[in-house]
């Protein structure tokens, strides 16, 4: 016995103007509800809440909260794309296929990349707050000790210990 093809649902009419903005908001909320069904997304929400709590504990500046929130929104976006691609792949290829595995693995890699960026950011702000390690200050100290200059198109370093404190000039010419 042959099964009948699925019933075709007509495409909705195109919406413009203010109605388009309301429709777009509705579509985004539907996407969020769909994403909420993903266990990984719920784990990422917990990760974000834990990261915010960690930042509160460290008493980080407001700009670091903003960066963390931006990274989280990036994670949500990549996770949404990951879920969308997985839905399409599952529909196109219900059986196992190499291209389907590759597509899902690449999406997983994209999500992991954002998670690693968040982890690196948290590690840097933790080192900055708890250990007193400030990348910006250390970089400034490096530039002061190793003043870079250009002579004849070649980069040379002038070391601060070569400065004559009396004359305020270099004791040895850079060659």
Q: Which two tokens stand for residue 61?
A: 């500046």
Max CA pair span of the chain: 101
CB atoms near residue 67 (< 10 Å): 16
Contact 144, 160 (CB under 8 A): yes
Q: Within 10 A of 77 (CB to CB), how many other CB atoms are there?
A: 11
Q: Which residues are CB-neighbours of 116 under 8 A, at least 6 positions away?
A: none
Which sign does the torsion angle of CA 17, 23, 29, 35 carry? Answer: negative
Question: Active-site residue 64, yes or no?
Answer: no
Task: Provide the 8-state DSSP code for 48.
Answer: H
Could you tell me if residue 153 is left (phi over 0), alpha (psi between -120 and 50 degrees) or otherwise beta?
Answer: left
The half-sphere exposure of 170 on its side-chain side, counting CA atoms within 13 A, is: 9
Q: Which of 38, 79, 86, 98 is catalytic?
A: 79
Catalytic site positions:
79
């Amino acid at each position: 016995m042959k099964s009948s093809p699925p019933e075709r649902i007509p495409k909705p009419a195109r919406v413009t103007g203010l109605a388009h903005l309301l429709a777009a908001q509705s579509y985004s909320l539907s996407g969020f509800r769909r994403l909420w069904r993903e266990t990984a997304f719920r784990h990422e929400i917990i990760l974000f809440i834990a990261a915010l709590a960690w930042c509160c504990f460290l008493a980080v500046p407001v700009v670091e909260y903003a960066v963390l929130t931006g990274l989280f929104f990036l994670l949500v976006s990549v996770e949404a794309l990951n879920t969308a691609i997985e839905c399409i792949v599952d529909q196109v290829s219900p059986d196992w296929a190499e291209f389907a595995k590759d597509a899902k693995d690449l999406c997983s890699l994209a999500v992991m990349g954002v998670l690693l960026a968040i982890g690196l950011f948290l590690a840097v702000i933790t080192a900055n707050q708890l250990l007193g390690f400030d990348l910006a200050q250390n970089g400034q100290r490096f530039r002061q000790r190793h003043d870079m200059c250009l002579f004849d198109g070649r980069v040379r370093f002038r070391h601060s210990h070569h400065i004559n404190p009396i004359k305020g000039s270099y004791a040895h010419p850079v060659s």
